[in-house]
Structure 1
Amino acid sequence: MAYVLDAIAIAAQAITGRHLGAGDIAATRAVTRRMVQWGVRSGIVTGVLLAASSPWLGALFTPDDAVRDALVPVLLVAAAAQPAAGVVFVLDGVLIGAGDGRYLARAGLVVLGGYAPVVLLTSALGAGLAGVWVAFGALFIGGRLVTLVRRARSEAWLVTGAAA
Structure 2
Amino acid sequence: AGNAHGAKAIARRVTVWSEIFALLLAAAFAAGVTAIPLLFTDDPEVLERAHVIWWFFVAMIPVAGAVFALDGVLLGAGDAAFLRTATLAAALTGFLPLIWLSLIFDWGVAGIWSGLVAFMLLRLIAVVARAKSGRWARVGADVPSGAA
Q: Is the 8 Å Cα contact of residues 84 and 141 (structure 1) preserved in structure 2?
A: yes
Alignment of 1:97-116 (within 5 A): 97-114=76-93, 115-116=95-96
Aligned equivalents of 2:32 and 2:128: distance in 1?
30
The answer for the alignment partner of 1:92 in structure 2 is 71
Higher helix share: 1
Provide closer, same or farther for how the CA distance between residues 89 and 155 of structure 1 changes in structure 2, counting only shifts above 3 A.
Answer: same
Residues 46-78 of structure 1: per-residue CA shift (max 9 Å, x gap): 111111112122222222123212212312211
Q: Specify the code of the residue in structure 2 equivalent to 1:37.
A: V
Aligned equivalents of 2:103 and 2:65: distance in 1?
26
Residues 8-57 of structure 1: per-residue CA shift (max 9 Å, x gap): xxxxxxxxxxxxxx111111111111111112111111111111112122
Matched, 1:38 2:17: yes
Provide closer, same or farther for how the CA distance between residues 47 and 117 of structure 1 changes in structure 2, counting only shifts above 3 A.
Answer: same
Aligned equivalents of 2:80 and 2:132: distance in 1?
16
Q: Single out whichever of 99-108 and 111-120 deviates more from structure 2.
A: 111-120
Q: Is the 8 Å Cα contact of residues 98 and 111 (structure 2) preserved in structure 1?
A: no
Q: Which runs of 5+ in 1 are unaligned?
A: 1-21
SS of residue in 1 equivalent to 2:32:
helix
Aligned equivalents of 2:29 and 2:121: distance in 1?
19
The answer for the alignment partner of 1:55 in structure 2 is 34
Q: Specify the code of the residue in structure 2 equivalent to 1:135.
A: G
Residues 104-155 of structure 1: per-residue CA shift (max 9 Å, x gap): 1111111111121222212332112123212311x11100001101111113
The answer for the alignment partner of 2:52 in structure 1 is 73
Q: Could you tell me the TM-score, scaled by structure 1's length?
A: 0.79
Q: Is the 8 Å Cα contact of residues 50 and 76 (structure 1) preserved in structure 2?
A: no
What's the % identity of the aligned pairs? 33
Q: Specify the code of the residue in structure 2 equivalent to 1:111.
A: A
Aligned equivalents of 1:159 and 1:95: distance in 2?
11
SS of residue in 2 equivalent to 1:54:
coil
